[in-house]
Amino acid sequence: MTAFLMENIAPLMFAALVIVLLLGYPVSFALGAVGLGFGLVGIELGMLRPELLQALPERIFGVMANDTLLAVPFFTFMGLILERSGMAEDLLDTIGQLFGPVRGGLAYAVVFVGALLAATTGVVAASVIAMGLISLPIMLRYGYDRRLATGVIAASGTLAQIIPPSLVLIIMADQLGRSVGDMYAGAFVPGLVLAGLYAAYVIGTTFLRPGWAPALPPEARTLREPDGSSGNRSLLVLTVLAVGAAVGVWKLYYDAHAPETATDERIVISMLAAVGSAFVAAVINKLLRLGLLSRIAERVTFVLIPPLALIFLVLGTIFLGVATPTEGGAMGATGALIMALGRRRLSLPLLKQAMNTTAKLSTFVVFILIGARVFSLTFYGVDGHVWVEHLLTSLPGGQLGFLIVVNLLIFVLAFFLDFFELAFIIVPLVGPVAEKLGVDLVWFGVLLAVNMQTSFMHPPFGFALFFLRSVAPAKEYTDRLTGRRIAPVTTGQIYWGAVPFVVIQVIMVGLIIAFPNLVSGGLAKKEAIDTRNIRIEIPTGKAGPAGGPPGIYFEQDEATKALERAMRGEPEPGTGAETDDAAKALERAMGDGKAADAPQKKQ
């Protein structure tokens, strides 16, 4: 029995953790208890020394001294303030009016606003609950299929997991030992591509099932001109102006003068040029009362500018290297407070609620990380990482086989664990193996982050589905605008609506594996150094470097030759004596160098 325990203590430790988690114990305490329990078993079996546990205080202090984790409370606070400041309501109302005349318009608005909220809040719960409260009643009112409506709201809310500033990317960077800025840059394009795939699914649904996503009726389109027209013509002109400014910056500046610039930086600066030009045009039109822009054009411009400006304040400064992610989070939190103050939504109860929730989430993260440090201390002490490495490196298929197995493992575990637990338990085990196999860890982290999105969408334990269930109507109700009776949304409809979007997320994982440049294209190109062209020049003792400080210079070849002669027992030239000590020969050689340098010093 003892021999069996000693040979299999690592897999038994992992199995015990899974069992304790399935029993319902909190993750942080489960990790700590299993780590300490098996640590004592290892000491009893003679596999570990008792002194190993003395390293625990230092490891826990390392968690508290981790600067990277400071970004978590900043971005959480920013998201909570924005969610309560009414920004989501204005965005959904305005973009819903913009896309309303086309089939599936409200669903497109949800995807678009979901991406914007993801880039400003970074909190899934805030995005899902806000869109569920605002958009779902409107979609039900105008006859949207319940599965499509709930699925697109839940999926768009989970974009906050992959589009920066995402909390999971901060944790992933910390666990993989990589820069948060690089992780953000790598995830930016895949996040936008995933949002595009959601919109493509809505387009396909409107063609195959037109009745599932009808257009808004004319009476529901409130942003119209006095003559009854939509006003889209001036909006189109403003859009062309903005796109022209963005393309001009991209082509005339980056392609011509800075072609090596990373894709993420190009996107952010081009977006800033587009937004800035549209905003300036709208302000000039309003101040001078030119009347060139329609109501919808002005509304879209002034509603979109604040969140887009906040995106630049946070992500733009990080991508440009002006601020670290922690500093960007602090600026984002300040910007969110200013936006809430400008909307006259900032109050003491709102601040208390946001700070209370931020403190809870930050404590939750730190406690899990402390438990993970206790677990990993024992796991590494019993060579558990070696067991994992041998298990994964022996898989057939090399890198591809490793990536397929790891992604399948995370996909299955996501049914039961959320992304924090996956990041703290699984990632530290598979990260070193990925690095040994030559996988870029930033790319690997983004790949796992996309996969971990499914933990929010998996029926029956997906948190996004729970958030939506909490705000979706569970009973039949009377619509206050139309007076019609609206049937409730069932849990089964929410679950079935999530399935197509889980499939899309899995497709996105496959696209990142098939096209790695989706991630690496967003990273700054590092200058390659050819080590074959490196030359090391050593100054001689005959003359010091021109203009250099006085010092000791000697001919290295002379010292080497003197040492070789001493090893062979040959006499030094001009001394007539044999050298029996190699060290003395080298000292004499260095002494010659000093002598040669003496005249230089006197000069």
Q: Please tell me the distance from the alpha carbon of residue 130 to that of residue 149, in angstroms, as a whole number.
A: 14
Cis before 349? omega within 30: no
Q: Are 92 and 398 in contact (CB under 8 A)?
A: no
CA distance 486 to 213: 16
Give me the pLDDT at residue 14, please. 82
What pLDDT shows up at residue 204? 92
pLDDT (tens digit per residue) in 209-223: 888 888 888 777 777
Confidence tier at 532 by pLDDT (50, 70, 90): low
Report the pLDDT value the prediction gives residue 166, as an integer from 0 to 100.
Answer: 80
Task: Classify each residue of 13-27 as buried b or exposed e, where b means 16 or more C-beta atoms within 10 Å of its C-beta.
Answer: bbeebeebbeeeeeb
| Interval 548-555 mean pLDDT | 46
Question: Predicted confidence band at 551 (pLDDT cuts at 50, 70, 90)?
Answer: very low
Most confident of 63-67, 83-87, 349-353: 349-353
According to the model, what pLDDT value does residue 599 have?
42
Please write the tens of the pLDDT for every residue from 61-72.
Answer: 877 777 777 888
In terms of Cβ atoms closer than 10 Å to its own Cβ (0-12, 13-18, 19+), residue 314 is buried
More confident residue, 267 or 535: 267
Asked whether residue 257 carries a pLDDT value surpassing 90, the answer given is no
CA distances from 231 to 90, 106, 286, 293 (A): 19, 19, 16, 8
Share of the chain above pLDDT 90, in %: 6
- Over residues 302-312, mean pLDDT: 81
CA distances 328 to 176, 218, 291, 295, 361, Å, are 21, 43, 38, 34, 19
Mean pLDDT of 124-141: 81
- pLDDT at site 201: 93
- CA-closest candidate to residue 165, choices 319, 360, 341: 319
Residue 477's φ and ψ, nearest 5 degrees, are -145, 165
Half-sphere exposure of 403 (CA within 13 A, CB side): 23
pLDDT reading at 15 higher than 60 = yes
pTM assigned to the model: 0.75
Residue 377 has a CB neighbour count (10 Å cut-off) of: 19
Rounded to whole angstroms, the Cα distance separating 212 from 327 reads 45
Give the model's pLDDT for residue 252: 84
3 state DSSP class of 204? helix
pLDDT at residue 200 tops 90: yes
113-122, 252-261, 286-295, 584-593: range with lowest mean pLDDT: 584-593
Confidence class of residue 600 from pLDDT cuts 50, 70 and 90? Answer: very low
Please say if the pLDDT value at position 502 is more than 70. Answer: yes
* Domain boundary assignment for the chain: 68-520, 556-602
Q: Predicted confidence band at 602 (pLDDT cuts at 50, 70, 90)?
A: very low
